[in-house]
Amino acid sequence: MTEIRAIIADDEALLRQFLRARLSEVWPELIISGEAQNGEQALDLIERHHPHIAFLDIRMPGLTGMEVADKIAGACRVVFVTAYDAYAVEAFDKEAVDYLLKPVSNERLQKTVIRLKEGLETGAAVPVETLRRLMIRISDEGGSRRLRYVRIHEGDGVRLVPVDEVIYFKAQDKYTLVITQDGESLIRKSIRELAGELDPERFWQIHRGTIVNVGSIDRVSRSLTGKGVIRLKGCSDTLTVSNRHMHLFRQM
């Protein structure tokens, strides 16, 4: 086989460019046949170009990466690319199906390339059943997938901020303020959505509009009016705990 083709699907243009650039470094002979910004476009590219490999973001508008993989039914090798941490990373590693976490490092991508080349050179069948089994497992245990990065839009670019660096999240109409040591940024996601994606062991919702990183809490006290007040490490802001959520601190 002299020519290997791939497509890249991600709803963030800069992340597609980032992956294309990394691939050009670790696999310069690879031909990127096209890029898609949603699941439907990815499916169309695969049907038109018959690539050997599809790099699919898991969360895309319309069809998700997993839904696209299910529809193509082994037509090409699939590498999932996602911002979500999961036990599935180990599972995919063990069962020889690839799964990359953003931002993708050259070292990790190099391992993926070696695995893909070995499969293509030996002509080993695309592991459809393994892929499908793992997709079902991920869907069944979706609660174990946790957000690792938030996407901060800056001008025409996107910055990935690890959630570990976030001090707290605060609702701002339909958006959310992300407060870190470097300042605050606005993201296009509601507090309600974030609450379902963050690790509840590390991020506590202390008010209808506030989620705090537990590791950033310095101390909790009562105000003169009896409300819970959180003081933070490395941040002069104070946060109010609603009565509904004070139970989180009763055992501290």
pLDDT tens digits for 146-170?
Answer: 788 888 887 777 788 889 899 999 9
The residue among 102 and 223 whose pLDDT is bigger is 223
Q: Where are the alpha helices (DSSP H) in the chain?
A: 13-26, 39-49, 65-72, 88-94, 106-122, 128-140, 191-197
Tokens of 219: 């101390």
With H, G, I as helix, E, B as strand and everything else as coil, classify residue 11: coil
Per-residue confidence at 104, pLDDT binned at 50, 70, 90?
confident
With H, G, I as helix, E, B as strand and everything else as coil, classify residue 189: coil
The residue among 152 and 59 whose pLDDT is bigger is 152
Beta bridge mates, 204? 212
Q: Which range in 14-18, 35-39, 60-64 is most confidently predicted, on average pLDDT?
A: 35-39
Task: Calculate mean pLDDT across residues 168-180.
Answer: 93
- What pLDDT is stored for residue 122 in this prediction? 80
Beta bridge mates, 104? none
Residue 24: closest CA among 8, 36, 45: 8
Residue 58: closest CA among 22, 34, 83: 83
> Hey, how many other C-beta atoms are within 10 angstroms of the C-beta on 208?
11
239/227 Cα distance (integer angstroms):
10
Q: Do residues 167 and 181 make contact, with C-beta atoms less than 8 angstroms apart?
A: yes
- Kindly report the backbone phi and psi dihedral angles of residue 44, in degrees, each rounded to the nearest multiple of 5, phi listed first: -65, -45
**Is 229 a residue whose pLDDT tops 90?**
yes
- What pLDDT is stored for residue 26 in this prediction? 93
- What pLDDT is stored for residue 34 in this prediction? 95
Tokens of 48: 């038109």
- What pLDDT is stored for residue 106 in this prediction? 80
64/89 Cα distance (integer angstroms):
18
- What pLDDT is stored for residue 96 in this prediction? 42
Per-residue confidence at 143, pLDDT binned at 50, 70, 90?
very low
- What pLDDT is stored for residue 94 in this prediction? 42
- What pLDDT is stored for residue 157 in this prediction? 72
Task: Calculate mean pLDDT across residues 101-129.
Answer: 78
Task: Calculate mean pLDDT across residues 82-100.
Answer: 54
Per-residue confidence at 102, pLDDT binned at 50, 70, 90?
low
- What pLDDT is stored for residue 125 in this prediction? 66
- What pLDDT is stored for residue 248 in this prediction? 80
Beta bridge mates, 98? 79
What string of DSSP letters covers 146-165? EE-EEEEEETTEEEEEEGGG
**Is 138 a residue whose pLDDT tops 80?**
no
- What pLDDT is stored for residue 136 in this prediction? 63
- What pLDDT is stored for residue 46 in this prediction? 95
Cis omega (within 30 of 0) for bond into 103: yes
Task: Give the mean pLDDT of the chain.
Answer: 82
218/180 Cα distance (integer angstroms):
15
Residue 92: closest CA among 147, 138, 134, 127: 134
Please state, for a pLDDT cut of 90, what percent of the chain lies above it: 35
Give the H or E element holding residue 221. Answer: strand 217-222
Residue 80: closest CA among 175, 190, 91, 123: 91
Pairing between β-strand 5-9 and β-strand 157-162 as defined by DSSP bridges: unpaired
**Is 197 a residue whose pLDDT tops 50?**
yes
